[in-house]
Amino acid sequence: MTDELLGDIIEEVIEDYYEDKINIEDEYEDVLNYIVRRLVKKAGRKNKGERYLKILERLRNKTPVAKLVISYLISEYIRERDSGSLETPSGEEYI
């Protein structure tokens, strides 16, 4: 679902700003999963699926805001990856 709604924006941000730091062919799924985990965490526990969908829809409808948020999350992914503190999901299902 996230890839369908935000995948094009994620790819555009990587190509425009992070192409020298992320190999889109090798790391796209890792970046996508990182973004999903962070957005799911933001959705909270109550009505997580519904709230997560609302977050995705808001981002999709506000492309400049989405680019800013996604760029921030990608920079955090790079920082965690490079420092070795990137959490690997353990059997989590992504929405």
CA distance 51 to 18: 29
73's tokens: 């999350």
> What is the tens place of the pLDDT at every residue in 28-86?
999 999 999 999 888 888 888 888 889 999 998 999 999 999 999 999 999 999 998 88
**Considering only CA atoms, which of 38, 39, 32, 36 is closest in space to residue 14?**
32
Predicted TM-score (pTM) of this structure = 0.84
